[in-house]
Amino acid sequence: MPIPSFEITDRDAGTRARAGVIHTAHGPLPTPAFAPVGTRGAVKALAPKDLLALGAGVIMSNAYHLAIRPGAETVAALGGLHRLAGWDGPMMTDSGGFQVFSLETKARVDDGGVTFRSHVDGSTHRFSPESVISLQEALGADLVMPLDVCTDYPVPRDVAEAEMRLTHAWAERARRAHTRADQALYGIVQGSVFDDLRAESARVIAGLGFPAFAIGGVSVGEPKAEMWAAVDAVIPHLPDAAPRHLLGVGYPEDLVEGVARGIDTFDCVMPTRIARNAGALTMDGRINLRNAIHARQPGPIAEDCGCYACRHFSRGALRHFTLAGEVLGLHLLTLHNLHFCLLLMRQIRAAIADGAFEVLRREFLARYAGGTFAPAGTAVPMVAR
Amino acid sequence: MPIPSFEITDRDAGTRARAGVIHTAHGPLPTPAFAPVGTRGAVKALAPKDLLALGAGVIMSNAYHLAIRPGAETVAALGGLHRLAGWDGPMMTDSGGFQVFSLETKARVDDGGVTFRSHVDGSTHRFSPESVISLQEALGADLVMPLDVCTDYPVPRDVAEAEMRLTHAWAERARRAHTRADQALYGIVQGSVFDDLRAESARVIAGLGFPAFAIGGVSVGEPKAEMWAAVDAVIPHLPDAAPRHLLGVGYPEDLVEGVARGIDTFDCVMPTRIARNAGALTMDGRINLRNAIHARQPGPIAEDCGCYACRHFSRGALRHFTLAGEVLGLHLLTLHNLHFCLLLMRQIRAAIADGAFEVLRREFLARYAGGTFAPAGTAVPMVAR
């Protein structure tokens, strides 16, 4: 088995969904997969042992954040990113393009790269397509993203087109600079919500011969319908045999919909971030544990959930720990939310193998989209419940 | 086997150390034991599954804190303290006397009890010896402490004597008010650093027929020598067959010394609190992970430590997570520090059973007291290292 490589094991007959395995130097990653986000090498409020118990297959970390602190040389001196994170399985690093353009870093872009200020101490840094490859070769993740221009939403078509072309030029430079044969370098597709630009970007990036592909510039504020239209414009132009990642997506319903459209991997801070706001995912909608209604509820977040939090703690206890500022509350809600997403991915993989993906998709969306968990921009059907 | 009961299984020939088991309604607690502190039902930055993995036998929670938030009725409605905490093993609750007198609660004491303000919202509350028993019967811990007057240090002898007598009167009222046969109510000895008061307090409290005893008013700022003198004054007057708890102690060297003096159980926030200040216990002294010297150290906190943090994380990684404010850093340091204390207790139990306690005591103190981990008021020998 060559490393890295992608093997498709099952296909859904009615959609573009497929199941497979990304083989990495740190073991196999069954797909479709959801990557919990460990921006600085740690998934918020969890230890790697918790992620193993949850069945996580890959962690998404961030080259920008690690370059700022503790620095690539320090990570290398400590034995690389996997050793820093205490995680021996597959790891992915985002380049940090999104962060440079979104974190008040006063980014200035020129053809050669981007100059920006650290969000930690205000110091000036510069990323070029080559330096970001060098950074990620030092960190040593298995699956890595090149520097791209993450186009904002909304922007005029000419801005989207210019940023797409710069992303293509940087992609070519990144591809030439990349030397580590044990890493898979993804080609990132941009083009905002313009379907013809998305299709062009996919054709150009695919033409550069990357072993894997990612769709960027999504989930940046555009309506969900626009996002799926962009994905649908891209997928037919990417090689079928290569894995496809959807950057920064998604919510549970997005995972189901993305798989149906041919996406293999996802990453999103949502399950960990909403936990910090006392939010818990359930099939009947999101609940907020700060709500007084939960104060004396002796039952778990979800009766049919098998996660550690639901097996051992009442909603009232979770509310108490959350209001008291106990780390345990944050830990348990994070465990629960990631369990929800990772279990969904296991169910998706099994359904694809069993020829039952369309049933899963229909039943999940019928129950889940009827809940109160409506992402911005989505029209929730007014169904009797 | 009656519940609760105490069984002494081994005795050290040269000291007052003994090993045994406290049998509770939630299972056996092998002694000597160290109780991690979970003030509000959660040990800071750990889940009960972590405490199980660490081999913790008992958790010390706090009736005052739980009465303030979420309230005894809420805890009862949620199924009691064990269910709130997600911990099915033995639990202990301190009455909160110490907190009422130490947490800026503007406590006013009269013969009937103490009136104070909540440290959370300023609301006025009153504890009487009877109400604190009722509170703890509602919470449902296995081992419970009556309301006492935790004498400050230093105080004049007449203050110590008056507070001791009030503690005795409250102890008698608590003993009469206590109805739950499945709970062991401890008698608390006070008397500050006055050895004759300590001896008198022990005799009076022992005469009230409690099934277990605790020494309070220690570790409140007095020199270590004064603390041990107080313990030595108390122990001969307590019934040999009853378990003895040392409240709010201790540091690792205190655990060894306390056991030698006949103490069976301890509780202390130290291992969890120093973790929040980036402190880690090692046999060669305490280290602070914020120190720049650790930035690129690829080795663990301690080479010979078998804890999860030391098996999977470098000092540099722990420093990174700590400086970045990641919960993982706090979690790992807490795991390590509790592992240190709980392993020490297992070694102490085994040494008592094997007739090797004095060897353990000598070797531990020779190495450990020579480190930089000097508690205030202790003269550290100037030894070559």
The bridge status of strand A59-62 relative to strand A91-94 is parallel
B84 touches chain A (CB under 8 A): yes
Tell me, what's the pLDDT at A101?
A: 83
* Chain B residues whose beta carbon lies within 8 Å of the beta carbon of residue A46: 328
Q: What is the pLDDT of residue A371?
A: 43
Whether residue A49 lies within 8 A of chain B, CB to CB, comes out as yes
Q: pTM of the predicted model, to two decimals?
A: 0.95
Is A158 exposed, middle or buried (CB count within 10 Å of its CB: 0-12, 13-18, 19+)? exposed
Q: What is the pLDDT of residues A44-87, one digit of tens each?
A: 999 999 999 999 999 999 999 999 999 999 999 999 999 999 99
pLDDT (tens digit per residue) in B207-227: 999 999 999 999 999 999 999
CB contact under 8 A, A45 and B84: no
Residue of B nearest to A315 (CA): B78
Contacts for B347-351: CB closer than 8 Å, 24+ residues apart: B348/B17, B348/B19, B348/B32, B348/B255, B348/B256, B348/B259, B349/B19, B349/B30, B349/B31, B349/B32
Choose the closest CB to A298 out of B40, B78, B313. Answer: B78
Q: CB distance B74–A46 less than 8 Å?
A: no
Rounded to whole angstroms, the Cα distance separating B380 from B249 reads 19
| Cα maximum dimension of chain B | 60
Please tell me if residue B293 touches chain A, with a CB cutoff of 8 Å.
no
Cβ–Cβ contact B79 with A under 8 A:
yes
pLDDT at B377 over 50: no
Q: Return the number of other C-beta atoms located less than 10 Å from residue A367's C-beta.
A: 14
CA distances (Å), A178 to each of A166, A185, B192, B347, in order? 18, 8, 70, 53
B312 and A48 within 8 Å at the Cβ level: the answer is yes
Question: Mind listing the pLDDT tens digit for each residue in B164-189?
Answer: 999 999 999 999 999 999 999 999 99
B236 in A contact zone (CB under 8 Å): no
Q: What is the pLDDT of residue A338?
A: 98
Distance CA B183, CA B146 (A): 12
- Name the token pair of B226: 């004064």
Cα–Cα distances in Å, from A324 out to A186, B102, B122, B225?
A: 43, 19, 16, 37
Quote the CA–CA distance of B244 and B116 in Å, as a whole number. 29
Our CA dihedral for B173, B176, B179, B183, rounded to 10 degrees, sits at: 70
What pLDDT was estimated at residue B369?
Answer: 62
The larger pLDDT score, comparing residue B99 to residue B248, is at: B248
Is residue B205's pLDDT more than 90?
A: yes
Mutation site, B51, B54, B327, interface A, largest A CB count within 10 A = B327
Cβ–Cβ of A326/B40 closer than 8 Å?
yes
Rounded to whole angstroms, the Cα distance separating B68 from B62 reads: 10
Rounded Cα distance between B188 and B147, Å, is 9
Note whether A327 contacts B: Cβ–Cβ < 8 A. Answer: yes
- Separation of alpha carbons A102 and A303, rounded Å: 39
Q: Which CATH superfamily is domain B5-268 in?
A: Queuine tRNA-ribosyltransferase-like (3.20.20.105)
B132 dihedral zone (left: phi>0; alpha: psi -120 to 50; beta) = alpha
Chain A residues near residue B313 by CB distance under 8 angstroms: 86
Q: What is the ipTM of this complex?
A: 0.94
Residue with tokens 């607690």: B29
Beta bridge partners of B37: B60
The CATH fold of domain A58-79+91-265? TIM Barrel (3.20.20)
Q: What is the pLDDT of residue A369?
A: 62
Question: Cis omega (within 30 of 0) on the bond before A300?
Answer: no
CA diameter of chain A: 60
Q: Contact B326/A44, CB-based, under 8 Å? A: yes
Radius of gyration of chain B (CA): 20
Test B69 with A320 for CB contact under 8 angstroms: yes
In three-state secondary structure terms, B17 is: coil
Shortest distance, CA B361 to any CA of chain A (angstroms)? 34
Domain locations in chain B as residue ranges: 5-268, 275-368
Query: Average pLDDT over chain A, rounded to whole?
Result: 94
Q: Which residues of chain A are under the pLDDT cut of 70?
A: 369-385
Q: What is the mean pLDDT of residues B193-215?
A: 98
Query: Measured between alpha carbons, how far is A185 from A174 in angstroms, rounded to an integer?
Result: 9
Question: In angstroms, what CA-CA distances link A291 with A280, A295, A311, A324, B378?
Answer: 12, 8, 21, 14, 49
pLDDT in tens, A232-276: 999 999 999 999 999 999 899 999 999 999 999 999 999 999 999
pLDDT digits (tens, 9 = 90+) for B10-59: 999 999 999 999 999 999 999 999 999 999 999 999 999 999 999 999 99
